[in-house]
Each structure stands twice: as structure tokens, then as C-alpha cells.
Structure 1
């Protein structure tokens, strides 16, 4: 397979006219040459934090506080998940997966509730079992919870927060299993941040209320952070200090709960860019290679040997035509209607338009 157009190469997304050659699921050649195409080729997005299980309950929690919405064990989302059938959860997640694929997400880091059964439901949605949407190509990194046996089927453990339980034992088990450990911290207030950081997690999620002492610890440890600014705004807890965090560690973007926001990385990038006023290239890294780095993946960047997860945009769409700064236009204005093609693992996925 080869794709032609303006290729955004490397972690700096340098625009190069030419083509990307793909073989055996990886990028094997990048050719700089004149081509007759207005397409723009960039890495597929890596959504660094999701809860897609609550796809069964979009916009269900208007007016509720963060704790009323999502706090375990009896926040609204947890009650709805307990009440829903396996089949309903699988079908709802499959719809979200199809939407994520069609809007350019190739990988997502999912905090999956429900223990072993919860992980199985997501795997069924990815495989298209029992639903009419076909087999998915999108590739999740699954962080289980709620079950001591979940590490046997998950890629890591996704803890709700240090105030919710004692996670010392499960942190040790995760480390012994050679798997990843992530934890929510500083979402509602700053009180759980130090305790979360004391667990030496592989990454933190949210950090809305990071204080100077926490920022210093981040800089010393280099602990990555996944931020979800749209979700934080909806739950009225504030917004993360994205610029302060980015000055000290690796920051990646996530869309958080499907109950609260669509899992669109276009929308998350635009919001984060306008909130932080960071350079567009830095925001695009947060939506691609930084999330991949958190999960130890070889994707999120167009370079030789990287996984062939690619997003093709129509550079001549009514929305993007005439852009003077292509990367800035992608970050601040591109959307689902600009998507021409999505390639995951070297194969077409999601929606393809002509």
C-alpha cells in the first residue's frame, strides 16, 4: 500500500510532498517527490484515556457532580453499567469504536470497569461479536479494574483514585506481571495526588488541581500525564494546567467518558489548543506520539519502522483549503468531514470516501 499527498513526517510533523509506502503493517519508505494529490497524511490518533463502557448512557448525567456521575461503586455510570446486559454494552461500545475509527483514532487507552467480564465485553466489541458492525481494526490498550484476576486478561490496571482504595498490592502485582499501572489523580481536588504519585504509576490521569509541589515531583520523576480538558469542564472540576504540565513531563490527550463527551480527538485537540495556546505541533504530539509513548507503542509518528496507523485528510476540503499553517489548521479546525481514509495496521479501517 502507498499513500500520496503532503506527509507530516516525524515528531515535528514536517510537511513533505510525496508518498508513504507501507508493507507488513509498518512504514517501510517515505519518498519526497511531486505527486498529484491534495491529501494530507498524518499519524492516526492515540486517545490516551477513555471510558467507552458508558456508551450506553450518553448525556445521562446532566446537573450531577463528579462523584454522583462516576465515583465507584454507586455513581450513576456504575449503576447503569450493572443494570445493562452484556449484549447492550457490547453493541454500544461497538458504535463508539466505529465512530472513533472513522474520526482517525487508531489506538486508545481504556480504563475498563467490570473486571474480567468488563474486559471481555470490550474485546467482544472490538471483534464485532454479536453486533452488525463487522470486525473492528481499532487497537485498544485495556486497563482493567474491579477484580483481582483482571490482570490475566488486561494490558494493565487502571485505578480509580488513591482515595477510593489501597492500591499498594495491586500495584505490586501489576509490576510483577510486567504490565502498566495508571491512576486518576487530582481530578476533584489535590488531596489524592501525592498518594497516587507514591504508587510510582506509569502514568497519571487528569491532574486538574496540580500544585507547585506536584509539578516539581512530575519534573523529577518524569511521570506522564493524560489530560481530558473537555470532560473536566463538563464535570465542573476546572481545567488542567496543560502548559504547566507540558513544561515538566510528557502530556497526552484523552476524551474520557463517552457519557460526557464524544470520543473525538479533533474536538479534544481544538479545545486543548485554544485553552492552553500551546504550539499546534505540541498539541498534535499530545494526540498522537505522546499517548503511544505512555503505552510503549511504536506508533503515533510517521517514520521508518513505525506501525502503519495513518490518517488521511482532504486538504482541499472546504474547511482546510487555503490553510497557511497546515498543522495549526488540523489541530484547530479539522474534523470528521475532512477525513478521507483511515489506515490501521496497514489496512483500511473505518470510513473511506472518494
Structure 2
């Protein structure tokens, strides 16, 4: 039996606001119908958080004043010492709470760079059990973790060559992502030599890097709030958007709340980009990187929807619905999160 979600629907790749309803059948969007409705709800595609490290959930706001290397560099950054010392059940509970928070805030999936080898992969699987959010898990440190997960998430080309890991990941037909250009530009070229499926950060990408990224058609995941907190600079989002597909992530839970609302607002107000571009970064672009059939409200997509209360005290009176969703909306405006998938 089809179900309907009514309100102002942000339809298609341009997020055109139309009055009507989304028709859902067997977990998939069957139609988007323009029709008169009494609903003041705003129906958006659910978010895809394109870069997370949620194992850090046990250490929120730890390490104030430390450099990026002191905080997270393997193997002896503060984060890695805390992860090694933590009880597995504590890690799992922390990750589950972060996943639950993301789900309640309208996130359908995240691309998780998962520390801890195969055990780390198993921990996040346990953390996500029974939740509707879908972590796309990229194992780290070993090829065994890659085979146990959805792919491989490399720390950076200055840490190791990753040639063997890249080749095994390619042979397995899985996703390969790598950090690049976070501290400086020295690891961007070597990362590109690996022909990754996507790059993370690119704070220090220059014109030559951008041209090569465009030629190779490699998407990027950017995390502006994290880069600001760690004082490494800010990614050139406008230039990246001119050269490739750009997705939005929240990075380490240790440093930032995994809220896509906060990441969107920060990005929209910091850069000369449109609200539609930012919403696309938070939804469709991340879904494309992860190979998921969501991120847009259009026929044939999985019905992963975020419903906002357009009559909340925060959103009532908005003259530009898309701009209000990106720059103003928050978790308190969420009325429903429907994360259905086709069978």
C-alpha cells in the first residue's frame, strides 16, 4: 500500500520547492505529485554525512589546544591512545549514541573511516544494529578490515604508500577514500596517483591539483568546521565546486557534533555558495560518493526523507524555503525522519 508525505517538497537535483506529496511504495519514491495540501511541513532528502570518525564518541571535546597531529595522527595521537585504552562495550555504546543522534537529525547514512582493524568494523556493526541509519564503513590499517567492510579509508599518502591496499580494494570492487591536503599539499599528488574513489579535506589544494582532480573526475569530501577547529586552514569550497563534485562531512566526533545542520549553516555563511549547492553537498553528493540510491527526492530513489516543521517558531515565515533549511533549520525543527529502503 503506498504511503504519502505531504508539504513543501524539495524536489529533484535543484531542490525546487513544490506544494504536493511524495508517494512511497515498497521503500522507494514512486512519484512526486504537485497538489494542494494543508500541510506546512518541509520535505527534504535525508542527509549523507560524507566523512566521519565516530569511534571518537568516547572523547568528545578532549584535547583542547592540541595540534592536529597531537590529536589524531596515527599511531600515537591522543585519539588513538584513547581508542586503544577504551573498553569495547564503551566504544560501541558511544558510537551507537552518535549514530542515534545523526539519525534523529535526518542523516540517512555516513561514510565512516573506521579505526581498529576488523574488530573496529565489527564494533560499528554492533553499534548500528537495529538503527535505520546506514554507516558505509571503510576499514583502516589492514586489508582484512577492508574485506570485512565496505572499503578502505586511508589516513594519508605521507603515512604509507597504500599501493597494495588500493589494488586489493579495487580488485574487491569496494570504495577507496584517502585523506589529502589537510596539513599541507605534500600528500595530494601521491594520493591522486592512487586513483582513489574520493579525497577528503583538500584544504591546501592548488590550481594544478584542482585541474588534475577535474581531469580524473574524483569527488571530494570537505569538513570545514573540523579544519577550522584544528587550525589547518579552510578548504577552497568555491574552487572545488568549479572542478568536481563536493560532499559535506563532519569529521571527528571528538571535535564536532555530527550535525549536518551545523555543517550546512557554517558552510553557507562562510563561503560564496548558494543554499542549493550546500544542500546538494549534504545530500546528493555524499550519496553519490557512497554509491547509495538516495540524496534526492525523485522517482526511483530510496525513500530516505527528512520532514521539517515549517510552522516551528524557528522556520515560520521563511521567505526562501531552501535557504531556511540550509542556514536556519536545526534538530529541534525535525518532525519526522523516514529512512526506508527498497527491498
Q: TM-score range by the shorter chain?
A: over 0.9
Q: 1:95 aligns with which of 91, 97, 107?
A: 97
Is contact 1:161-1:185 (8 Å) kept? yes
Q: Distance in 2 between matches of 1:346 and 1:43?
A: 13
1:151 matched to 2:153: no
Is contact 2:143-2:168 (8 Å) kept? no
Is contact 1:194-1:214 (8 Å) kept? yes
**Offset at 1:203?**
0.2
1:249 matched to 2:244: yes
- The aligned residue for residue 350 of structure 1 is none
Q: Distance in 2 between matches of 1:19 and 1:284?
A: 20
- The aligned residue for residue 329 of structure 1 is 324
1:5 matched to 2:7: yes
Please state whether the residue corresponding to 2:243 is helix, strand or coil.
coil
Is contact 1:23-1:346 (8 Å) kept? no
- The aligned residue for residue 123 of structure 1 is 125
1:296 matched to 2:291: yes
Is contact 1:210-1:241 (8 Å) kept? yes
**Offset at 1:25?**
1.2
Tell me the alpha carbon deviations over residues 274-321 of structure 1, each in whole angstroms, 9 at most, x when there is no partner.
111201100000000000111111100000010110000000111111
Is contact 2:189-2:209 (8 Å) kept? yes
Q: 2:87 aligns with which of 85, 88, 92?
A: 85
How do residues 272-351 of structure 1 correspond to structure 2 at under 5 angstroms?
272-345=267-340
Q: Distance in 1 between matches of 2:16 and 2:84?
A: 47
1:211 matched to 2:213: no
Q: What is the TM-score with the length of structure 2 in the denominator? A: 0.98
Q: 2:266 aligns with which of 245, 249, 271?
A: 271
Please state whether the residue corresponding to 1:230 is helix, strand or coil.
helix
Is contact 2:308-2:335 (8 Å) kept? yes
Q: 2:172 aligns with which of 174, 177, 184?
A: 177
Q: Distance in 1 between matches of 2:34 and 2:143?
A: 51
**Offset at 1:346?**
5.5
Please state whether the residue corresponding to 1:247 is helix, strand or coil.
helix
- The aligned residue for residue 27 of structure 2 is 25
Q: 1:105 aligns with which of 107, 120, 131?
A: 107
- For structure 1, the 5+ residue unaligned runs are 128-134, 348-354
Q: 1:186 aligns with which of 181, 186, 192?
A: 181
Q: Distance in 2 between matches of 1:121 and 1:189?
A: 32
Q: 1:15 aligns with which of 5, 17, 25?
A: 17
- For structure 2, the 5+ residue unaligned runs are none
Tell me the alpha carbon deviations over residues 165-211 of structure 1, each in whole angstroms, 9 at most, x when there is no partner.
12000000000000010000000001110000110000000000011
1:57 matched to 2:59: yes
Tell me the alpha carbon deviations over residues 77-136 of structure 1, each in whole angstroms, 9 at most, x when there is no partner.
000000001100000001101100111100110000001000000000001xxxxxxx21
Q: 2:44 aligns with which of 24, 42, 45?
A: 42
Please state whether the residue corresponding to 1:270 is helix, strand or coil.
helix
Please state whether the residue corresponding to 1:149 is helix, strand or coil.
helix
Q: Distance in 2 between matches of 1:122 and 1:345?
A: 21
Q: Distance in 1 between matches of 2:133 and 2:292?
A: 14
Is contact 1:114-1:147 (8 Å) kept? no
Q: Distance in 1 between matches of 2:266 and 2:212?
A: 27
Q: Distance in 1 between matches of 2:290 and 2:193?
A: 20
Q: Distance in 2 between matches of 1:316 and 1:346?
A: 28
Please state whether the residue corresponding to 1:11 is helix, strand or coil.
coil
Is contact 2:11-2:17 (8 Å) kept? yes
Please state whether the residue corresponding to 1:318 is helix, strand or coil.
coil
How many residue pairs match? The answer is 340
Q: Distance in 1 between matches of 2:72 and 2:90?
A: 19
Q: Distance in 2 between matches of 1:259 and 1:50?
A: 10
RMSD: 0.9
Q: Distance in 1 between matches of 2:117 and 2:276?
A: 37
**Offset at 1:14?**
0.7
Is contact 1:203-1:225 (8 Å) kept? yes
